């Protein structure tokens, strides 16, 4: 008969055998839990990286639906919801079609005039320098450098001609994606209220869920409306400034360009400003310098004054918080961080308010004690 194995010394004499087994099981399960969660997060990011385009289209459709939801809700008072959605999309489609027609007609006319104007700048009369050569010569640019630039542009033009078919294919894909986004947004407007109502009814702590859902709708929809208002304001400032202050040609075209570029954070103003400065250079370097100063003014107004106030008010943020979010988002995540800084900050602010309210509800004695301490400090007792 084999001898019994010697018992190991009990290093924790206060614990029973069952408690020791549970403790070792806990130590074993914690690393496994961390490993499982890490694998799950990696899997989620891997899947997201392969369906980025679909997620982006769904996000854009949701943003578009959030932006149109207040108008649908307003029309729903006098007509069924589906009819209200169709009427809203008919209005939006008509507005975009009219704007597209006006923009396209003005763009074609002013582009044709611009090409004729550029041709007149490069025409040589009797061996004399062209107007473009005289204007650029004031900045020390020689004729040889101009010819090199012209040859570079011609080479790029040939490359663009070769790439015309891929460009048309990409444009067709963009149109198809636009139609898909519009259809998704219609479905979100039709069924989105059902999903939200289901969440309101079946989510634990319904008051908190209602508050978060209402705030999310306000933040996202307000951000889109605020960004559109800001882009429209910049477009008006650029169009009126170029046309009535500096008397530059193609002011309407430049205003449309500024409206489109305004949706690109930071870089948008610089791109539209660079185009305006190049056109101003054809008149004089003084005009170009004044246009540069004007765009610096617009950039300051957009980024430091009006932008944080308009977008921040739409999202529900104080202008200082909105400005801080823009700077922090740009530093951390670049252009995309700047673009989504305000709505993300609005959602985070909502979550903080919910958590703070819950803390006050659960621990009212701590807040009462704090108020007494503040009162005593103020009275000097």
Within a domain: residue 381?
no
pLDDT at 331: 75
* 158 and 239 fall within a common domain: no
Task: Work out how many domains the chain is built from and give that number.
Answer: 2
* 149 and 269 fall within a common domain: no
* 323 and 232 fall within a common domain: yes
pLDDT at 294: 92
CB atoms within 10 A of CB 343: 25
**Residues 277, 291 contacting (CB under 8 angstroms):** yes
Q: Nearest 5 degrees, angle CA 233-CA 235-CA 238?
A: 110
Within a domain: residue 42?
no
Nearest Cα residue to 208 out of 32, 9, 93, 351:
351
Within a domain: residue 7?
no
* 342 and 216 fall within a common domain: yes
- The residue out of 169, 184, 202 marking a domain boundary is 202
Instruction: Give one word for 292, left, alpha or beta, with left for phi > 0 and alpha for psi -120 to 50.
Output: alpha
- The residue out of 167, 202, 237 marking a domain boundary is 202
pLDDT at 5: 45
Nearest Cα residue to 230 out of 145, 336, 304, 293:
304
Within a domain: residue 35?
no
Range of the domain at 197: 53-119+131-202
pLDDT at 2: 47
* 191 and 269 fall within a common domain: no
* 185 and 70 fall within a common domain: yes
Both tokens of 356, joined, read 């703070």
- Could you list the pLDDT tens digit for every one of the 381 residues in the chain? 445 444 444 455 555 666 666 666 666 666 777 777 777 778 777 776 667 677 777 777 877 787 788 788 888 888 888 888 889 888 888 877 887 777 777 767 766 676 666 666 555 555 565 656 666 666 666 666 666 666 666 666 556 566 656 767 777 887 788 888 888 888 888 877 776 666 666 655 556 556 666 666 666 667 777 778 888 888 899 989 988 888 888 788 888 888 878 876 666 778 888 888 888 887 888 888 999 999 888 888 777 777 767 766 666 666 677 677 777 777 776 666 666 677 777 777 777 776 776 676 666 665 555 555 555 555 655
* 214 and 356 fall within a common domain: yes
pLDDT at 349: 75
* 226 and 353 fall within a common domain: yes
Within a domain: residue 22?
no
Within a domain: residue 262?
yes
Assign 265 to helix, strand or coil. coil
* 257 and 321 fall within a common domain: yes
* 267 and 338 fall within a common domain: yes
* 158 and 297 fall within a common domain: no
Give, rounded to a whole angstrom, the gap between the first and last alpha carbons of the chain. Answer: 83
Alpha-carbon gap, residue 140 to 379, rounded angstroms? 73
Q: Is the pTM of this model over 0.75?
A: no
Nearest Cα residue to 315 out of 378, 206, 233, 221:
221
* 340 and 197 fall within a common domain: no
Within a domain: residue 46?
no
Within a domain: residue 276?
yes
């Amino acid at each position: 008969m084999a001898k019994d194995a010697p018992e190991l010394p009990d290093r924790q004499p206060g614990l029973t055998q069952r408690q020791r087994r549970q403790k070792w099981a806990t130590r074993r399960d914690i690393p496994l839990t961390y490993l499982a969660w890490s694998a799950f997060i990696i899997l989620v990011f891997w899947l997201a990286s392969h369906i980025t385009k679909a997620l982006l289209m769904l996000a854009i459709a949701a943003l578009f639906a959030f932006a149109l939801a207040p108008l649908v809700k307003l029309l729903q008072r006098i007509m069924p919801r589906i009819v209200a959605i169709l009427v809203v999309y008919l209005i939006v489609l008509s507005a975009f079609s009219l704007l597209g027609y006006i923009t396209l007609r003005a763009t074609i006319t002013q582009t044709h005039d611009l090409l004729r104007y550029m041709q007149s700048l490069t025409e040589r009369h009797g061996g004399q320098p062209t107007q473009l050569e005289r204007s650029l010569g004031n900045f020390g640019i020689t004729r040889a450098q101009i010819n090199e630039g012209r040859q570079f542009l011609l080479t790029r033009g040939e490359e663009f001609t070769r790439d015309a078919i891929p460009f048309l294919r990409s444009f067709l894909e963009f149109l198809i994606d636009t139609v898909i986004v519009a259809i998704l947004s219609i479905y979100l407007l039709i069924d989105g209220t059902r999903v939200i109502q289901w969440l309101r009814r079946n989510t634990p702590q319904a008051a908190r869920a209602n508050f978060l859902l209402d705030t999310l709708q306000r933040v996202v929809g307000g951000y889109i409306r605020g960004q559109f208002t800001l882009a429209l304001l910049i477009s008006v400032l650029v169009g009126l400034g170029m046309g009535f202050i500096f008397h530059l040609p193609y002011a309407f075209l430049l205003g449309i360009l500024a409206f489109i570029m305004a949706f690109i954070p930071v870089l948008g103003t610089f791109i539209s400003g660079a185009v305006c400065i190049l056109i101003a250079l054809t008149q004089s370097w003084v005009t170009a310098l004044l246009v540069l100063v004007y765009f610096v003014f617009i950039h300051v107004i957009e980024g430091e004054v009006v932008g944080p106030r308009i977008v921040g008010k739409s999202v529900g943020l104080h202008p200082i918080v909105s400005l801080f979010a823009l700077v922090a988002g740009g530093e951390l995540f670049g252009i995309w961080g700047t673009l989504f800084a305000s709505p993300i900050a609005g959602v985070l602010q909502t979550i903080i308010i919910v958590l703070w309210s819950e803390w006050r509800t659960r621990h009212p004695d701590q807040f009462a004690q704090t108020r007494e301490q503040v009162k005593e400090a103020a009275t000097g007792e």
